[in-house]
Structure 1
Amino acid sequence: MAVVVVVDVAAGSSVGLLPVIALGPAFGGLVGGWRRTVFIGVVAVALCCALGIYDGLFEGRRGYTALASVVGVTVASLAAAVARQRREAELADVRSIAEVAQRVLLRPVPRSAGHLRVAVSYTSAVAEARIGGDLYEVVATPRGVRVIIGDVQGKGLAAVETAAAILGAFREAAYEAEDLADVGERLQRAAERAVDDEKFVTALIAEIRPEGRADLLNYGHPAPVLVSADGALSFPEPPEYAPPLGLTVGAERPLPFPVRLGPGDQMLLYTDGVTETRDSAGCFYPLGDRVAFLQEADLDAALESIRADLVQHAGGPLHDDAAMLLLRHREPHGTRPSGETS
């Protein structure tokens, strides 16, 4: 509006810039609230009247036409600003509800569970989203620490509902089931009730005991990364993969398989959103080559390093949800790596 005033005074009324003052309230309605829009509109009308009188435009129709344009745009911008503020308030309410849903569905995992130290990282592929189809949980029980990580096929609310059903079944079974096979059987039944339309859930569940043994059940999920205290790397796979949850009707009951997880060892569980992330050349993320990040004393810092490297590898936002769960067996006699705190 200031530019219009300067040009109009300098060049005279022949330029015909007076109606352009309406751009002030137009942009004001896009970026400000209704009060700011009204203020800018009042200023625009005042400038229009002043320039119209200065240029002698109110002696004919031209000045009134310009004034009507400014007033009309101001009224339209005011209506748009009010509607936008109402939608922003509704969005804020929805986000508050989403945050509550996040705390119910994906509760913060304990930093310490039995003999394990735990850290988690979750990156949603949906902008502004907090939750999606990936799921995880850590439960300390008298039989050991029981863990699940999973990935629901599909997106949106249907995937979130399925994830909630699987997590609810796991949280109940983790405390009550006698062994890991019983936990898996309860998850199968929950998935059969919750999943339809040939959807499925890949999942990996584990039972980790203090004496250095862990049992795993893999339902079509990516194998975990096992890093021993001396830095040796392995991807323990089952003798035979079980079908994903939801596709197990009529399948034989899968049996857990053992792995060693002793003092100083680490296990990284993740969803396929991590390993299937591609760079601009179409190359998958080389998770096995990033084990050096796991040597950091702070578990949260280690996962954040991998997450940042993953986003850099993708060159932008991820195209799929990516969840990571890092478990580190405490050092013997309560010692821990330098810099690690309780």
Structure 2
Amino acid sequence: MTDKNPPSSRTALSWMPLAVMAVIAVVDVVAGPGIGLLPLVSLGPAFAGLVGGWRRTAVIGALALLLCVGLGLYNGLFPEPRGYTAMASVAGVTGVGIAAAVARSRREAELASVRSIAEVAQRVLLRPVPLTAGPVQVAVSYTSAVAEARIGGDLYEVVASPHGVRVIVGDVQGKGLAAVETAAVVLGAFREAAYDEPDLRGLGERIERSVARELEDERFVTAILAEIRADHEVVLLNYGHPAPMLVRRDGAADFPEPPSYALPLGLSGHGADGPEPYRVPFAPGEQLLLHTDGVTEARDRDGRFYPLEERTHLLEEPDAHRALEALREDLVQHAGGPPGDDAAMLLLRYHRHGDRGPASTG
């Protein structure tokens, strides 16, 4: 998670109250009592309450009160009501600043607790994928649309089942806790059925029944299921999800489309037929990138979509994780920051014993 306030920025903010009071003191001494700047000393504790804790705010408030007394005596204001009014102003703002600092500290503590719980929930929901499964190497990347977010609406899983390596990548409609709940339903159904169902269609139907039973209010999940065996083919089942990118040994990219598109998971009540499994050649040395639409729909400042097909050279790196990280960094650079939607990518490399990675395109 990126820090919105780097150390240099935090240092500047911490010194701001003292700097403000120093400037006011200098200007007041130079200009004399006729200008009436003394009440502005209260800006010091006011800024302190916004950026510091309550103890620091109280200390700066005490310093501001001493400064107010000193300037008042220097300017000869205390025989007049203006001196006492300025002191009351500083004391009142200090009190409000302390109260604001206490409230902000409590909110920050609550937010930190919620984020910690969310992080644990995310780790339980999206467990680390295996480095290898059957004939494939696996790498995964997840980029949240919000830098501070720990939970999003994308999901993925890899299971080495008796029926082959089975993979799911999906995108839940909506955000927040409702999306997390839906993702948990899909992943739970997939993890259980991946071991039991002998064919990919039966696996998809099990997940569809679970989703239809749990979801309400027309919520849905686009998803693609893949099954890889040792026969140099991958079987795909697409529920309204973006087609994966298949990178051949020569670096050429294909996007294998389904024979006909089906509705997403959760919309079976509309009476449409489910998706048809389709086979795609997938040989050693080739790579299959399953992703969510947050990747291909990421736009740059000119509104241009991310050209995924033109970035296959980034996947030439022998280490699958570094290759996928290079692709993720390129995506973030294209979007000028986190993409507008969560972006999940799962890279599968078909390898043989002794293979070091995909063949060079040079």
TM-based fold match above 0.5: yes
Letter paired with 2:223 = A
1:90 to 87, 110, 113: 110
Hey, what's the Cα distance between the residues in 1 that align with 2:335 and 2:215?
Answer: 31
Are positions 1:308 and 2:329 aligned together?
Answer: yes
Quote the sequence identity (%). 68
Letter paired with 1:264 = G
1:30 is aligned to 50
Instruction: Identify which range, 93-102 or 220-229, moves more after superposition.
Output: 220-229
Instruction: Identify which range, 216-225 or 314-323, moves more after superposition.
Output: 314-323
Hey, what's the Cα distance between the residues in 1 that align with 2:353 and 2:81?
Answer: 92
2:349 to 328, 332, 342: 328
Hey, what's the Cα distance between the residues in 2 that align with 1:117 and 1:197?
Answer: 38
2:5 is aligned to none
1:188 to 193, 203, 208: 208
1:334 match: secondary structure: coil
2:34 is aligned to 14
2:263 to 237, 240, 243: 243
What are the ranges of 5 or more consecutive residues in structure 2 without an aligned counterpart?
1-20
Letter paired with 1:335 = D
Aligned residue pair count: 337
**Residues 259 and 276 of structure 2 are in contact (CA less than 8 Å); yes or no, is this contact kept in structure 1?**
no
Q: TM-score, normalised to structure 2's length?
A: 0.89
What are the ranges of 5 or more consecutive residues in structure 1 without an aligned counterpart?
none
Hey, what's the Cα distance between the residues in 2 that align with 1:130 and 1:212?
Answer: 37
1:66 to 61, 64, 86: 86
Deviation, 1:13, is 1.4
Deviation, 1:253, is 4.5
Are positions 1:317 and 2:358 aligned together?
Answer: no
Deviant stretches of 4+, over 3 Å: 249-255
Hey, what's the Cα distance between the residues in 1 that align with 2:348 and 2:307?
Answer: 20
Hey, what's the Cα distance between the residues in 1 that align with 2:232 and 2:77?
Answer: 90
Are positions 1:200 and 2:220 aligned together?
Answer: yes
What root-mean-square deviation, in Å, do the aligned CA atoms of Structure 1 and Structure 2 show? 1.5
**Residues 299 and 339 of structure 2 are in contact (CA less than 8 Å); yes or no, is this contact kept in structure 1?**
no
Deviation, 1:57, is 0.8
2:185 match: secondary structure: helix
Letter paired with 2:108 = E
Deviation, 1:228, is 1.9
Hey, what's the Cα distance between the residues in 2 that align with 1:10 and 1:242?
Answer: 78
1:281 is aligned to 302
Instruction: Identify which range, 313-322 or 265-274, moves more after superposition.
Output: 313-322
1:57 match: secondary structure: coil
Letter paired with 2:225 = I
